Structure 1
Amino acid sequence: MQMRCYCVIHHGKPLELVERDVPEPKGTEVLLRVKAAGLCHSDLHIWEGYYDLGGGKKLSLADRGIKLPLTPSHEICGEVVALGPDAQAAAEALAAGTSAVVHPWIGCGECAACQRGEENICAKPQSLGVLRDGGFADYVIVPHPRYLVDLAGLDPVKAAPLACAGVTTYSAVKKFGTRIHEGPVVVIGAGGLGMMALEVLKAMGAHGAIVVDVDPAKREAALAAGALAAIDAREDDAVQQIVAATGGGARAVLDLVGATPTVKLALDSCARGGHVVIVGLMGGDLTLSLPIIPMRPLKIEGSYVGTLPELRELVTLMREGKMQPSPVSTRPLTEINEAFEALVQGKVVGRQVLVP
């Protein structure tokens, strides 16, 4: 039996349709029929073939071990079709027909990070849609049933973004600890992650959120989703607006863009003792006056996606009705290149989810 895969064959060129045999799961593998697959900004980096390091420097994805052709998408929901012989005996095995969201951030299982349960930062990752074929296909192979989280009635289209946009913002927000209750969290970027962050903050009982974005449509969407205020990052007094809106400076800033101007804005907007968590990978570099960091003192931290336990926690929050899905728009899988183009042009509010 044949299946469709939409693959990056050449960086920067349209994804191409490739017909392949439906794989047979071996060992602990599980075969899923894809029900929904989200499109993330990280998929754009894979398509482009590099990360911008600033100063004219680029990190080639080939240097990170990413090889073409590759089927992208790491935000995957699907239905269990078949299990390998060893998967059937695993305690985590889900029966055929079960709908599940996939934790795509798979590690080697042996290093210190994996032993801590942090496979997402493994030095030898095997992430689906990044280093192994992902969800822009009719079927996908998952290496072990433990990476499947039972949806138990949740809509696969609305749940797919939990695997990246959801777990990424949830993991990042958890790093702030009790600061989310001390005053508004400043969220820079109101795209797919930003809208998800608003729902995560509500579910965690946060004080509220001040959203910063250059796009008026996204600012309006953020206000409609419950943001306390929405500020245009391009305004000359954007820093002053943030300081005023947070009552003297931000205690917690979540930068979901991760570009030179947004990180500068985050640091300039902080109160003394402020904590900045950088998630976005848009790129650039930054020059800092080092004495400022201990004198203020500031905490600058990176956060990369999230762990399997965090994804399980997030699905539970949504299943119990404590967290609402962020906005999604659906397209048939055949419109994958149009979806990429819309994301490149910044025309997407929330998340685009492709449906085979």
Structure 2
Amino acid sequence: MKSYEVCECGAPLQLREQPTPEPAGTEVLLEVTAAGICHSDIHFWEGVYDIGGGKVMKLADRGLKLPLRLGHENVGRVVKAGPEARGVNVGDLRLVYPWIGCGECAVCRRGDEQLCLKPQFVGAFRPGGFSDHILVPHPRYLIDYGDLAPEQAAPLACSGVTAYGALKKFGDLLKAEPVVIIGAGGLGLMALAILRAMEAKGAIVIDIDAKKREAAMKAGALAVVDGRAVDAVAQVQAIVNDRIWAVVDFVGSGSTVSLGTDLLTKGGHLVVVGLFGGEITMPTPYIPMRAMTIQGSYTGSLPELHELIALLRKTPMPYMPVDVRPLDSVNASLNDLKDGNVIGRVVLAPN
């Protein structure tokens, strides 16, 4: 089995050859056919998150160990199953749900494994899909993705369910008011696609990159605004007659979160998804006086991924740019994503 692994944080991933694992118990072995690259992979690769004020959070302190095989957006073909694996057959094509918890705590039992305090995430705490094979602990984490192309299905495991989980937090507001999306990277473009599938009101997209704003318009944005414009808030307010009820921030920097709160009308709702890093300061009376909701959203649950797949099997997947590359391009691809040179999603094709 050939894999690319992080052996030193920030250094190029190394090609390693190891025996292909044999599934035991409920485990299932898949041959990887598509593996998406996500901004979280950049953080895992570098080993730190910027938490503002010149401070960083080291992922080693949270249990991540080297060597680390990245890749949490995976589609594969079942090649072997352990003797206790039920409901899966050799040859099945499946999407892997990566946000696995301990399976025993109250959070896991209620279906929110992505929030478990003892995570077993694929591509972080378990070996991921930057490889030609991947071992999954139980068939329940394997999802039939229907007629979607593998390269379109793979990003749904993170980009898709993360965007869907964030958008769901606005509830019925999606049908009544346009959402403001900050960031037209893979998550922002995925959100536009999902909003169209949900028959929502639509979205105004803010991004500092002209190419990404162009991609957002192609993906169905109602309008786009340059986030570096001194009058960015006024431009958005002019589009929606001053009242902005819902903002989702897929960047998550200090400046974008501040922009999101500036945009909100009284009673508005900001959902922060991105992990770019930084910090904000805000007069605390503003929170109750403006009756604003500032809410975090972390990936999405297994039930939400099932909901999303069901939605996209019923409604054809709208435009979402995907660049398919060979597995051995992983280092160049990570650097392209880090440098902001990717429109949409890069998906590696090991086989």
TM superposition score normalised by structure 1: 0.97
CA distance in 2, matches of 1:157, 1:322: 15
CA distance in 1, matches of 2:285, 2:176: 26
Q: Which amino acid aligns with 1:235?
A: A
Q: Which amino acid aligns with 1:68?
A: L
**Residue 188 of structure 1 aligns with which residue?**
182
**Residue 318 of structure 1 aligns with which residue?**
312
Aligned counterpart in structure 1 of residue 44 of structure 2, from 37, 43, 46: 46
Secondary structure class of the residue paired with 2:24: coil
CA distance in 2, matches of 1:230, 1:169: 19
Question: In the alignment, does 2:118 pair up with 1:124?
Answer: yes
**Residue 262 of structure 1 aligns with which residue?**
256
**Residue 13 of structure 1 aligns with which residue?**
11
CA distance in 2, matches of 1:124, 1:62: 14
Contact 1:30 1:143 in 2 (8 A): yes
Question: In the alignment, does 2:247 pair up with 1:253?
Answer: yes
Secondary structure class of the residue paired with 1:272: coil
Question: In the alignment, does 2:138 pair up with 1:140?
Answer: no
Q: CA-to-partner distance for each residue in 1:227-267, whole Å, 9 max, x for gaps? A: 01010000000011111122213100000000000000000
Residues 336-355 of structure 1 correspond to what in structure 2 (within 5 A)? 336-355=330-349
Q: CA-to-partner distance for each residue in 1:60-91, whole Å, 9 max, x for gaps? A: 0001100010110100000011101111xx3x
Contact 1:36 1:355 in 2 (8 A): yes
CA distance in 2, matches of 1:321, 1:183: 21
Q: How far did residue 28 of structure 1 move?
A: 0.6
CA distance in 2, matches of 1:30, 1:156: 19
Secondary structure class of the residue paired with 1:45: helix
CA distance in 2, matches of 1:36, 1:146: 19
**Residue 279 of structure 1 aligns with which residue?**
273
**Residue 174 of structure 1 aligns with which residue?**
168
- Give the total of aligned pairs: 350
Q: Which amino acid aligns with 1:173?
A: L
Q: Which amino acid aligns with 1:52?
A: D
Aligned counterpart in structure 1 of residue 152 of structure 2, from 151, 158, 169: 158
Contact 1:107 1:124 in 2 (8 A): yes
Secondary structure class of the residue paired with 1:63: helix
Secondary structure class of the residue paired with 1:273: coil
Contact 2:197 2:315 in 1 (8 A): no
**Residue 244 of structure 1 aligns with which residue?**
238
CA distance in 2, matches of 1:16, 1:298: 46
Q: How far did residue 325 of structure 1 move?
A: 5.5
CA distance in 1, matches of 2:296, 2:332: 32
Q: 1:315 to 1:325 in 2, by over 3 A?
A: farther
Stretches of structure 1 lacking an aligned partner (at least 5 in a row)? none
Q: Which amino acid aligns with 2:160?
A: G
CA distance in 1, matches of 2:220, 2:146: 27
CA distance in 2, matches of 1:308, 1:97: 23
Stretches of structure 2 lacking an aligned partner (at least 5 in a row)? none
Q: Which amino acid aligns with 2:181?
A: V
Moved more, 312-321 or 267-276: 312-321
CA distance in 1, matches of 2:241, 2:108: 41
Taking every aligned residue pair, what percent have the same amino acid on both sides?
55
**Residue 220 of structure 1 aligns with which residue?**
214
Secondary structure class of the residue paired with 1:243: helix
Moved more, 33-42 or 245-254: 245-254
**Residue 25 of structure 1 aligns with which residue?**
23
Q: How far did residue 324 of structure 1 move?
A: 2.4
Aligned counterpart in structure 2 of residue 298 of structure 1, from 292, 296, 310: 292
Question: In the alignment, does 2:83 pair up with 1:85?
Answer: yes
Q: How far did residue 322 of structure 1 move?
A: 4.2
**Residue 37 of structure 1 aligns with which residue?**
35
CA distance in 2, matches of 1:84, 1:189: 42
Q: Which amino acid aligns with 1:268?
A: D
**Residue 71 of structure 2 aligns with which residue?**
73
Q: 1:323 to 1:154 in 2, by over 3 A?
A: closer
Secondary structure class of the residue paired with 1:281: coil
CA distance in 1, matches of 2:155, 2:91: 21
Contact 1:243 1:270 in 2 (8 A): no
CA distance in 2, matches of 1:219, 1:152: 31
TM superposition score normalised by structure 2: 0.98
CA distance in 2, matches of 1:200, 1:246: 21
